[in-house]
Amino acid sequence: MARGRNDITARIRALYNELPPQVTLVAVSKTRSDEEIREAYDAGQRVFGENKVQELVSKASRLPTDIEWHLIGHLQSNKVKFIAPFVSMIHSVDSLRLLSEINKEAGKCGRIIPCLLQFHIAREESKFGLDLEEAVVLLESEQYRSMRHIFIAGVMGMATFSTDVALVRKEFSNLREIFNTIRNQFFASSARFTYLSMGMSGDYPLAIEEGSNMVRIGSNIFGER
């Protein structure tokens, strides 16, 4: 059931009490109304995540301009142009081709867009993402090295949707290792590779135990979708 105003405010407050200070909360607002998002905004929340370009663009046009919009869902290259003018972070980069398109469109807007590399860490076939080897190929490419309108700000991943705590923990710890490996190999001298985006409503405490510093939480704030 959807939550009312006081509930959303209370959930945001409870999360800020609970989350360690180094953890950024991305309030996942997909399928939620403008009114619900405003309630979270009025409670002080500024970072919101959407998984569909169309929905993101239309919400951004109506809601306060100091909201930082993160695209967290799969992104098709031909839709990058719609979000490039304003998006604050893209969590779902899973190919050099997509990154190149983001770079191109960000350039047209005179922007530099922070991007996360999405990794496939879950058992489910359906979840998008790179493996470590593919990411290394991407990061070693001349094409990537020449990009001036994006930077890689970290990594993102989704664990298997499961009540098997040991499995989910293992997947998060796997992503943390990927994060550390990439940081040491490619970003040792850069302060900009910082985000380990993992953890959703059902598994964020585990993700934080495994080192997450960016959680993407929807139903825990707004109620079941």
Ligand X SMILES: *Cc1c(COP(=O)(O)O)cnc(C)c1O
Residue 202 lies near ligand X (rule: CB under 6 A): yes
Rounded to whole angstroms, the Cα distance separating 30 from 149 reads: 27
Decide: 79 and 102 in contact? Cβ < 8 Å.
no
User: In terms of CB distance, is 30 or 111 closer to ligand X?
Assistant: 30
What separation in angstroms does the CA of 54 have from each of 50, 75, 99?
A: 10, 11, 19
- 71 in helix, strand or coil? strand
Which of 121, 134, 123 is closest to 172 using CA atoms? 121
Q: Which stretch binds ligand X (CB under 6 A): 56-64, 132-140, 179-187, 200-208?
A: 200-208
Among 37, 53, 60, 72, binds ligand X (CB under 6 A): 72
Among 9, 51, 100, 213, binds ligand X (CB under 6 A): 51
Residue 218 lies near ligand X (rule: CB under 6 A): yes
Q: Which stretch binds ligand X (CB under 6 A): 39-47, 52-60, 172-180, 211-219?
A: 211-219
User: In terms of CB distance, is 140 or 224 closer to ligand X?
Assistant: 224
Decide: 105 and 82 in contact? Cβ < 8 Å.
no
Residue numbers of the site for ligand X (CB under 6 A)? 28, 30, 51, 72-73, 158, 200-202, 216-220
